[in-house]
Amino acid sequence: MKDTTPHSGRRMRLVHSATRSAAVSPDPRPAPANPAALPYGLITLGELYRAGQVQLGTEVYPDGPWWETLPQMITGLEPWQMFVFGSDEHGLHRRGHAGLAFRSQPGPWKQDTGLQAALTAPDDSALRRGRWAVLGVSRGPGLGREGRSYAVQVTRGDRPRSVTPDELATQLHALCDHAGARHGGQTLIPPLAEGSAGYRRSEIAAVWQRVASERPQRRLPAGLRFIRALDGVDL
């Protein structure tokens, strides 16, 4: 889709760089009158783009895709999007991006009565199906009540660096296989395995670069979008 909206040189670079692998999907809804007051729970990547709040960051790895920097992490998904997050070995999805995917928020979880009920519910209970993720799914795709997600196990027992770079690479290959089979869908990937998982962003960048070098045509599938937020959501 041709972009005919006037942009500054920086914004033009942002849009073109961000859409090299996957264009921002068209959406007929207008931009909010007050972009800074987008309601919690309804913030999608498309809404932030229309509000002019997405900035181009650095490359994920040299000659790789670009980070799309957001004022805060998205809280809504479009039907064609899938959200990726880091999980523990039990798929408890308590905090950080996992908490956002299951509980709709990344913050304190111990007083969350919905999560506590889900933790004691049978495996086939609807209570274990969260907003985008499913409790107990530590690796792979999950279908929640309001969207799709994909879990990448980044820790064991909450111990830093307990999942090795080789294990991460194997999981990222599986993610790429799954994303590549979605034919036009967008896969939204925030920073993985940082924070409490113990890795530096440069170390995970090296894992992504390795995965890309081992993929067909030495590149990641179209549709992968790397997003990071300025609100400091713990991972």
pTM of the entire predicted model:
0.82
What is the rounded CA–CA span in Å between residue 134 and residue 115?
A: 11
What pLDDT was estimated at residue 232?
A: 65
pLDDT above 60: residue 35: no
- Please tell me which residue, 7 or 217, carries the higher pLDDT value: 217
What pLDDT was estimated at residue 138?
A: 97
One DSSP character per residue, 128-196 reads: GB-SS-BTT--SEEEE-SS-EEEEEE--BTTBTT-S-HHHHHHHHHHHHHHHHTTSS-EEEE---S-GG
The rounded mean pLDDT for the chain is 84
pLDDT above 60: residue 168: yes
Considering only CA atoms, which of 153, 225, 139, 220 is closest in space to residue 188?
Answer: 225
What pLDDT was estimated at residue 21?
A: 35
Q: Which residues pair with 153 in a beta bridge?
A: 87
3-state secondary structure of 51: coil
Matching residue, tokens 């997003």: 227
Per-residue pLDDT, averaged over 192-221, amounts to 95
Residue 206 binned pLDDT confidence (cut-offs 50, 70, 90): very high
Residue 9 binned pLDDT confidence (cut-offs 50, 70, 90): very low
What pLDDT was estimated at residue 106?
A: 82
- 212: burial class by Cβ within 10 Å (0-12, 13-18, 19+)? buried
pLDDT digits (tens, 9 = 90+) for 71-122: 989 999 999 999 999 999 999 999 899 999 999 888 788 888 999 999 999 9
Maximum distance among all Cα pairs of the chain, rounded to whole angstroms: 55
pLDDT digits (tens, 9 = 90+) for 120-130: 999 999 999 99
Listed by start position, the domains of the chain span 81-229
Tokens in use for 219? 């590149």
CA 176 to chain centre: 13
Matching residue, tokens 């390795």: 210
Fold of 81-229: Leucine Aminopeptidase, subunit E; domain 1 (3.40.220)
pLDDT digits (tens, 9 = 90+) for 109-163: 888 899 999 999 999 999 999 999 999 999 999 999 999 999 999 999 989 999 9
Per-residue pLDDT, averaged over 181-186, amounts to 88
